[in-house]
Structure 1
Amino acid sequence: MSRRASILGLAVAAVLLALGLQSWGLAQALVERHVVAGIEKRVGLKVTSLKRAEIAFLPLPRISLSGVTFASHDGALSGTALRLRARARLLSLVAGQLDFDRVDLIGPEIDIVVPDEPQGYANWAAPALAYLSGLKSETQLVISAGSLMARSGNTILTTLRDVNLVVEERDETAPVAFAGAFTWRGETARVNLLWPVTGERARVAIALSSNLMSLRLNGTRSGAQGVMTGQVEFNTRSLPDALAWIGPRPRIATLVRQVELTAEAQLAGDNISLSNVIAKLDGDQLEGALKLDGSGARRVLSGTLAGADFDLGRLIRQGENQPLPGAGEPSETPLEFDLWTAHDVDLRISLDSARLGTARLGDLAAQLMVRKGRFEASVLRASAYGGSARARILATAVPAGAELKLQLGLDRVNLGQAGGDLPDLLGGLTGTATGQLALDGVGDSLEQVVGSLTGRVNATLRQGEFKGVAFGELLRRAERPPAARDWRQGRTSFETAQFTALAHRGVLTLTEAQMAGPGYALSLNGNADLGRRWLELTGLLSATNGPARTSFEIRGPFADAVFTPTFDAAVHPTGATRQFAR
């Protein structure tokens, strides 16, 4: 080939390349007849209007539509896009056919029509999945910088923004597969989905993750009933924040923060059944079975869980430290009863060991029952320091707020053993304790309930001692002051101690309070104001083998009341006062 021919050939190729790279405007009628029909066939979206169409042939044949309006055949999906790009298959063009291997929606705003009475997220997603599953053949669909809006009539249910999604190419029987990211309620989330369209037990895989939580499901889906079964994993650093993101946050969810859960799951609509559950709640592991029924207006959580060791005190602390906006006056502690009973709960928990602050319990069986207008938490049984304990809190709705019933029972609890875990509460107190507490109160704040408490408290202690006051030295001081040693040091043994008190409007009044030990007998009377946490008691200490006797007064706040004998000026010995205050 001559030099002139080579130059001419290169010039022609350059011209053809330039022409191929150039976008060419097409007549709208021609676009509708060929391009729009091809797009509709491949992605199931009918282009109802457009502003401009362009075509380029190199490096690959492609078509670009601007200002596009589109809709699915059944009208479940509709919207607009700044631009729609379709990449044609080169081999199909050679064969004289127009087909596409990729369609891009740039900046789309897509509306999804949800049934008139949507009950949950499963119904919200159903129209989009039905649209994708119904396509006989689908090219790769790419959504860039879009938004998806779910509507029910004129009501906007939810909106996904910053949607960047790739729906993979498939044939009629292949599963729907897509992956991407979006922003929902201010949080960026990543999603992967494999959704079967045929087969009685076809594989399904779902993964959703954000900074707040992650959820994975790998299993199968029954084509006839739409029931999914498989392995589920759920993780969150803050359960209250995660639930507030995906839906209403139950007040009871504030009891737990970090959750790691794996289980065998069965999902049927808005009902979820979990078996072989392994859940770590703030590091403590529980195992068992759970069920969540979300089909009604009130969600229902039920199940049984068991664990080797669990911190019950942490649940109480976290519940107290999770205030909700606008809840009561700053000077009061609102009960938030309606929020605590917004959903139904029936949980039964058994633990080999439980912690309540620094106290430890064993072989514990507990129950949490929540119904509309009713909240009940019970320790049905627990071993406690050689004895047993039980407790119950029952709250029911009344016009004044909530009526609370508090019950506590102790049987043969060894206070010497308990003192090792509760030194600030029991100090040097030993002996065996049996007692009951039954109090009722009404109000819409903790302060109102305490101020209205009515009921009865009684306790019996046997064969023990306490430190801080030596009753023997106190009696000798009353009889022969110069010869007595300091009564504010040492210990006092007792054989029995009995206390009975009646509560009325938040004030406990002693009806019987006696203590007896080697060489002495003691009696008490007075009251304790539970609202003010204030003690006002008087007592008489008598020698059983002589005439010595002295009266005394215990007065002051619960944690720091002053013990004052009548024969001396007010004294305040360290440790002694607090033993009497209990």
Structure 2
Amino acid sequence: MSPRRPILLLAIGALALAGLGLRDWPVESRKAIAFAQRPLSTYGLTLTADGQASLRLLPFPSFSLAQVRIADASGPTLIESRHLTAEIDPLAFLTGRSPVGGLRFDGGTLSAERAAWARPLARIREGVAGGGQHPPRLTLSGATLGEGADIKDIGLDVAWPFWSGAVEAKAHLTWRGVPARIALTRLRPSDLFEGQRSPFAAEATWPGGGLAFDGTALLPAEAAGSPSLSGRARFQTNSLPETLAWIGRDAPLSPSPGPSVWKAPSRRRAGRCPGRFCGSARATP
């Protein structure tokens, strides 16, 4: 037999297996919901789905659910999504972690009620501070906040690998008709939840300007409070009045002759300007 024939047969077999692996196989919704709910129940969240469920083996094994809702155990709905994919992490079985490696939401609505998120966030804080597992990777695409009057087209990717102490997050959204991008790196949630300061670097950009911050953050004792920030910040904009109007602030200033650049001091004594920036703006021609 020609040596080419076995190779050809193996290639055909591999293609056939790949085709089967890329296919969505219907599964019982109850089993898919139970699998996707595992990491959520740790934080008092419940998952329901009205659509069909399926299993896909390639490129990574995952369960898919349609028309899902995630709610707090006390009742408020936090996320409504057209489609949810729960990715299976085979290595998690070897390390004793949750087999859900990531949750991906396509389309849907996020609750705009701050109070609705308070209890789940407090549970995450308590769980991580107590040495619990990291939450799974969270990915959103095409979501809106509330009715989408102010914030829509949300894309979010939050990753906290089990081998790393730092979180990385990237997001893009449309806020009041203006597209913006946000990036967060070096943040260590375990330090924050244990009452310690955590380093972080954040950057937000939009067509008319940008804001960058490099420093440390400290969470208040109460989960509902605002964090205290210290470090170096840089803010620049092509039009300060337009930027302030965009974020909902008044601009009692005369028109600037050019782009405005604002720099914050690198250090502040404790108790000075908690949770906000201190400095002055200057106009550059």
| Class of the TM-score when normalised by the shorter of the 2 chains | 0.7 to 0.9
Partners of 2:79 and 2:211 in 1: CA distance: 30
Partner of 1:104: 104
Give the deviation of 1:240 after TM superposition: 0.6
Bigger CA radius of gyration: 1
Partners of 2:76 and 2:284 in 1: CA distance: 43
Note if 1:167 corresponds to 2:158: yes
Give the deviation of 1:81 after TM superposition: 1.0
Question: TM (normalized to structure 2)?
Answer: 0.74
Give the deviation of 1:31 after TM superposition: 1.8
Work out which of the residue numbers 203, 211, 216 in structure 1 matches 2:212. 216
Note if 1:206 corresponds to 2:207: no
Aligned to 2:165, the other structure's residue is in SS state coil
CA contact (8 A) 2:160 2:166 kept: no
CA contact (8 A) 1:55 1:64 kept: yes
Equivalent residues in 2 for 1:78-93, closer than 5 Å: 78-92=78-92
Partner of 1:193: 184
Partners of 2:122 and 2:184 in 1: CA distance: 14
- More strand, by proportion: 1
Give the deviation of 1:217 after TM superposition: 1.2
Partners of 2:20 and 2:95 in 1: CA distance: 22
CA contact (8 A) 1:114 1:127 kept: no
Give the deviation of 1:281 after TM superposition: 2.0
Partner of 1:254: 254
Note if 1:142 corresponds to 2:139: yes
Give the deviation of 1:93 after TM superposition: 6.5
Note if 1:239 corresponds to 2:240: yes
CA contact (8 A) 2:69 2:80 kept: yes
Partners of 1:94 and 1:222 in 2: CA distance: 35
Partner of 2:114: 114
Residues 43 and 53 of structure 1, relative CA distance in 2, 3 Å threshold: farther
Residues matched between the structures, number? 262
Equivalent residues in 2 for 1:442-481, closer than 5 Å: none
Partner of 1:24: 25
1:217 maps to a residue whose letter is F
Partner of 2:278: 273
Coordinate RMSD, CA, aligned: 3.9
Partners of 1:90 and 1:178 in 2: CA distance: 24
CA contact (8 A) 1:132 1:176 kept: no
Equivalent residues in 2 for 1:418-429, closer than 5 Å: none
Equivalent residues in 2 for 1:351-430, closer than 5 Å: none
Higher relative contact order (CA 8 A, sep 6+): 2
Give the deviation of 1:272 after TM superposition: 4.0
CA contact (8 A) 2:45 2:120 kept: no
Partner of 1:227: 228
Give the deviation of 1:247 after TM superposition: 1.1
Give the deviation of 1:190 after TM superposition: 0.8
Partners of 2:120 and 2:173 in 1: CA distance: 16
**Unaligned ranges ≥5, structure 1:** 117-124, 150-155, 284-582
CA contact (8 A) 1:42 1:100 kept: no
Residues 93 and 171 of structure 1, relative CA distance in 2, 3 Å threshold: closer
2:64 maps to a residue whose letter is S
Aligned to 1:36, the other structure's residue is in SS state helix
Give the deviation of 1:148 after TM superposition: 1.9
Residues 186 and 12 of structure 1, relative CA distance in 2, 3 Å threshold: closer
1:197 maps to a residue whose letter is P
CA contact (8 A) 2:32 2:65 kept: no
Deviation string for 1:63-90 (max 9, x for gaps)?
Answer: 2111111124566761211111122123
Partners of 2:216 and 2:190 in 1: CA distance: 11
CA contact (8 A) 1:137 1:171 kept: yes
Partner of 2:54: 54
CA contact (8 A) 1:60 1:90 kept: no
Aligned to 1:22, the other structure's residue is in SS state coil
1:185 maps to a residue whose letter is R
Residues 213 and 6 of structure 1, relative CA distance in 2, 3 Å threshold: closer
Note if 1:264 corresponds to 2:256: no
